[in-house]
Amino acid sequence: MTPEQQDTQTKNVQNFECLGTISSNCIMVDCLRGSIKYPSRTRALLQKGPEAIKVFTWPGAEIGHVSEPLSQVLRKLLVGPIGTLSTELNTFLTGQKSTTSHPTVIVDASVFASPTPTPTLTVILILSSPSEHAAKVLGMFEESHLKLKVVEGYRPEKCLGIPHSLHAKVGQQSAPTKLVHGCKTPLLKHQQQAVEFITKLEYPESTTLSEFWNSLTCEWLKQAFYRKVNTGRTQEQINHNNQGSILAENMGLGKTLILLALILTSKNAAESFANTKEENARATLVICPLSTLANWESEIKKHLDLSHTKYVVYHGEERKKWTALTLGANNIVLVTYDTVVNYYESRCDTLFAATWFRTILDKAHVICDPATKQSRAILALRTQRKLCLTGAPLQNHLSDLYTLLRFSGVDSWLREEVWQPFIKLNIQRKSAKAIKLLQQLLANVSLRRLKTNVLQLPPKVKEYVGLLLPEPWQEDY
């Protein structure tokens, strides 16, 4: 293999994972009945047909088509016109020219012919995908009540280090598996689920909020909203593609590792975003209190392979080395809330000139009061994806949630002319429909789990040990 091919392999394999395997009946072409050798297994290729997914053996003989409902899912995944072919992993990684497209998933297909109890063909698929697309791909299978299984005996070293995704291992007592290229620490099941949850909301075509807006739970609010529209007191256009979320996990569940894995899974999307406009920065801006700044850097060094990820601590004298352009070229930029506020008040463009790919607020509850300089400075930042990290999203009052949801980009519900008279006021009056609406809104944009519900921990044991004080203190006490 030439050095150029090796470079192509390395580039293509980044952020890839094996999602699992699935099999289905292959409806045999009539002319082949009686001519198939049993038992046998051969490589296969899929082609998008007008009504079904056709199955070809190498070098190109059509033997049948995939049965439903798998065929329906594959038609969505083979992006392209009728005649589009599936792409094999080896072809994709080596960058060889072929007539295949580069769909959301890479498909290694084979056909197994069995003579008993009746002659049948089974198509067996092993699916791989960029990590940033994994949640969407798996969602398509779930919608059709299909589930990918673990590839038995899967060996990453035979596939250029591509790890087996944890998605397919839900419910199985297996060792945690590395999720993304460039992460040294394996993700546990609950951490992988958190990455999936956030990724789904960050996906540009996410329909989570639009579906909730059109649900029966929001029907009463929609009517009130459009009355406001008809009287000219709010705009009709709604943006439900907020690309924001709230991670409100209990302490000890590895929130920092979750976010670092999230950054790695979306590196390709960050590159594409940065190439769209000159002011777009590929970096994820992490804003945290000074007290946690050193911990963030420590976690980055602990969990990430720094040969694949560039980060900068934008604090103190280090700030003088960076311009807005060079700062945004990193993958991660760590900065304190105080620095953001100071730059906001002094109208310094280093942080505010760029549009960041993602902004993460650590201890996000510090911006719960929208009237503070801190909140105004944070809301003035330009960013495509937003994430609030907090263990306590609701501190004292309902209004504590308002700024977090507003930063997350939740439209329609968070407009002042909607939130105050219809949601906040009705909740204060203990309206069941308003309480239910807010609960379901939070369930759609935030993830909160307790350690006791996620980790298999032994029961807590309290043991009291009496100690005898030394003589000099016995008289005093």
* Within a domain: 97: yes
Using 50, 70 and 90 to split pLDDT, how confident is the model at 173?
A: very low
pLDDT band at residue 251 under the 50/70/90 scheme? confident
d(Cα 363, Cα 241) in Å, to the nearest integer? Answer: 24
What's the pLDDT at 319? 82
Q: pLDDT tens across 416-426, in order?
A: 777 878 888 88
User: Are residue 293 and residue 168 in the same domain, yes or no?
Assistant: no
23 and 112 together in one domain? yes
Say if residue 399 is in the same domain as residue 267. yes
Residues 160 and 298 in one domain: no
The secondary structure of 27-90 as a DSSP string is EE-GGGTTT--SSEEEEEEEEE-SSSEEEEETTTEEEEEEPTTHHHHHHHHS-SSTTPBP--HH
* 184 within domain boundaries: no
> Within this chain, do residues 155 and 104 fall inside the same structural domain, yes or no?
yes
Residue 73 located in a structural domain: yes
> Higher model confidence: residue 169 or residue 204?
204
Tens of pLDDT, residues 361-392? 999 888 888 788 888 999 899 999 999 998 77
Considering the domain architecture, whether residues 102 and 246 belong to the same structural domain is answered as: no
CA-closest candidate to residue 355, choices 282, 454, 287: 282
Last residue of a domain, one of 410, 427, 460: 410
Residue 35: inside a domain, yes or no? yes
Average pLDDT over residues 426-446: 85
Q: What is the pLDDT of residues 304-316, one digit of tens each?
A: 988 889 999 988 8
Q: 382 is in which domain, residue-wise?
A: 197-206+241-410
pLDDT tops 90 at residue 360: yes
User: How far is it, in rounded angstroms, from Cα 14 to Cα 129?
Assistant: 11
Q: Are residues 122 and 201 in the same domain?
A: no
Pick the residue with more confidence: 204 or 123?
123
Note the pLDDT of residue 453: 63
Q: What is the pLDDT of residue 220?
A: 85
Taking 90 as the threshold, does the pLDDT of residue 17 lie above it?
no
Say yes or no: 202 and 111 in one domain. no
Q: Are 91 and 98 in contact (CB under 8 A)?
A: yes
Mean pLDDT of 195-209: 84
Is residue 436 in some structural domain? no
The pLDDT-based confidence of 97 (bands split at 50, 70, 90) is very low
Least confident of 13-22, 124-133, 175-184, 194-203: 175-184
Domain assignment present for residue 460? The answer is no
Q: Tell me: do 166 and 201 sit in the same domain.
A: no
In the prediction, which pLDDT does 164 show?
A: 78
> 240 pLDDT exceeds 60?
yes
Co-location of 153 and 202 in the same domain:
no
Residue 96 has pLDDT above 60, yes or no: no
State the total domains in the chain.
Answer: 2
pLDDT at 278 over 50: yes
Looking at residue 301, its amino acid is K
* CATH number of the domain that residue 332 is part of: 3.40.50.10810
How far, CA to CA in Å, does 46 sit from each of 65, 395, 404? Answer: 9, 54, 46
Rounded to 5 degrees, φ, ψ at 47 are -135, 135
Range in 18-22, 199-203, 457-461 with the lowest mean pLDDT: 457-461
Q: Taking residues 433-444, what's their average pLDDT?
A: 85
Judged against a pLDDT cut of 90, whether residue 335 lies above it is answered with yes
The string of pLDDT tens digits covering residues 387-412 is 999 877 776 677 778 888 888 878 77
Gap between the Cα atoms of 292 and 304, Å rounded: 18
Please tell me the predicted confidence (pLDDT) of residue 461: 75
Residue 434 placed within a domain: no
Nearest to 133 by CA among 162, 161, 104, 106: 104
pLDDT band at 94 (very low <50, low <70, confident <90, very high): low
pLDDT band at 63 (very low <50, low <70, confident <90, very high): confident
Q: Does this model's pTM top 0.75?
A: no
Which pLDDT score, from 0 to 100, does residue 263 have? 93
In a domain, 145, yes or no: yes
Of 385, 410, 435, the one marking the end of a domain is 410
- What local confidence, expressed as pLDDT, does residue 3 receive? 55
In a shared domain, residues 202 and 170: no
SS3 139: helix
Same domain, 155 and 249: no
